[in-house]
Structure 1
Amino acid sequence: MSLLESEMFSFLNECNIINSINLESGARVFQEGDSCHYIAFIKSGVIRVTKLGQNGREMLLYRVVAGESCVLTISSILSNSLYPAHAVVEEPSEILLLSAEEFKKQMTSNLGLQQYTYSILMNRFLSVMSMLEDIVFLKVDQRIIEFLISKSNQDNGSLLELTHEDIAIELGTAREVVSRILKGLEREGLIKQARGKIKLVNIKKICDKLVNM
């Protein structure tokens, strides 16, 4: 096992790894209703986990990044239930695989794996709690402005490659709502829109608008 693997997932030294695989963007990891025959530990890359509603709308639940594993996979394996969402590779990923049987066996005696599992479950629970608080207590226009500012900071620039559908999925709202709010921001001169792109014209004024909401 490499040094990186030992640093990230030292508890796997006691386990029988099935293999290490590389997945390209767009590859399906799980879809809703799948049986979970293995658990994936993300060495690098990003896995996107979403839920598809009966109305066809998709909502982002969370992303799984380097050093993490998917909590829905963990819960599905431990409860012998089917996977309740969709998991797709968002960025090229290197993944370590452990069989469901080996995972359940190791959970009875591998203290490092137990601590890792409980920690990641708690962190994801707190993350979902925070997301629910935003949905319940913040107006959609506030959440959209916060998202645009956050995305600008991540991308280190004011030109964002985003569609209205992308934002709707991220924030768990309707595309039509996103379009209406972005059009309002454009009328105020705060953003400019092109196909698949949003330019933040004046980030300071956008931040001021958020503060005064």
Structure 2
Amino acid sequence: MKELLKNTYGFIFEDALIDEITAVSLLRDFNEGDVLIDFGDYIKKMPLLLEGAIKILREDFDEGELLLYFIEKGDTCAMTMACCMGESKSEIRAVAETKGKVIMIPVQKMEEWLGKYKSWRNYVFNSYNNRLKEMLLAIDNLAFMNMDERLLNYLYEKSKINNSREIHATHQEIAYDLHTSRVVVSRLLKVLENEGKIRLHRASIEFLV
């Protein structure tokens, strides 16, 4: 675990902090589609992502879900941290976008390290700031963007996270993430293909822009 930590966080955290994380934390492997945190869970550990990508979803008033943001290697989830610190139930669902590895840190240590390590304090505050910007962007997308623009942004993020122009997702899965219907997604994907921005294949979507 220590080598994985150093490879991902060695340029952020002091050696002493990495030693402490290694001593008290749990390393967990996950596969694509695994639910790592669910709505209503009491969160006792904070995740540090070593490999892979995770999407963070928010439950809406109609008991559907809305994609807030993705977290990638080197990230953590600010909303998870807030639940940990406040000992409140989770208001998000974290679903693995790809397979990967995550380190789970006990909440008691999170609080202790805020006063003990400047690098940890900076990391936590920067994480809050970055996730806040992403949530504001998600709100802007809902309020000001047309569905075709939201769809194109979604495909861009999926392509970036998977480091591939080939996006393996069904029209229904995309509709679920964007909180719309499969029919709307299928129609807009065809429009984007006609505009030369994507190419539709039988089991994947090729992102071209």
Q: TM-score range by the shorter chain?
A: 0.7 to 0.9
Please tell me whether residue 13 in structure 1 is matched to residue 19 in structure 2: yes
**Residue type of the alignment partner of 2:11:** E
- Number of aligned positions between the proteins: 200
Aligned partner of 1:89 in structure 2 is: 96
Shift of the alpha carbon at 1:120?
0.6
2:117 aligned with 1:110, yes or no? yes
Tell me the CA shift for residue 37 of structure 1: 1.0
Q: Indicate how the Cα distance of structure 1 residues 48 and 185 shifts in structure 2: closer, same or farther if over 3 A, else same.
A: closer
Supply the distance in 1 between the matched residues of 2:187 and 2:145 (Cα, whole angstroms).
17
Q: Give the corresponding residue for 1:71.
A: 78
Letter in 2 for 1:102: K
- State which structure, 1 or 2, has the greater radius of gyration over its C-alpha atoms: 1
Q: How far, CA to CA, are the matches of 1:73 and 1:117 in structure 2?
A: 11
TM-score by length of 2: 0.78
Instruction: State the 1:155 CA deviation.
Output: 5.8
Deviation for aligned residue 1:171: 3.4
Tell whether 2:126 aligns with 1:119: yes
- Contact 1:12/1:113 (<8 A) preserved: no
1:39-58 alignment to 2 at 5 Å? 39-58=46-65
Describe the shift of the 1:155–1:111 C-alpha distance in structure 2 as closer, same or farther (beyond 3 A): closer
Choose which of 137, 140, 156 in structure 2 pairs with 1:133: 140
Change (3 A) 1:90 1:198: closer
Structure 2 gaps, min length 5: none
Partner SS for 2:11: helix
TM-score (normalizing by structure 1): 0.76
CA contact (8 A) 1:43 1:93 kept: yes
Map 1:123-162 to 2 at 5 A: 123-148=130-155, 157=165, 160-162=167-169
Provide Cα deviations, 1:24-44, integer angstroms capped at 9, x if missing partner. Answer: 223321111111111111111
Q: How has the CA–CA distance of structure 1 residues 36 and 151 changed in structure 2, closer, same or farther, with 3 Å as cutoff?
A: closer
Distance 1:94 1:174, change over 3 A: same
Residue deviations 1:110-130, cap 9 Å, x none? Answer: 221111000010011111112
The alpha carbon displacement at 1:54 in A equals: 4.7
Pick closer, same or farther for the CA change 1:56–1:117 going to 2, 3 Å: same
Describe the shift of the 1:140–1:79 C-alpha distance in structure 2 as closer, same or farther (beyond 3 A): same
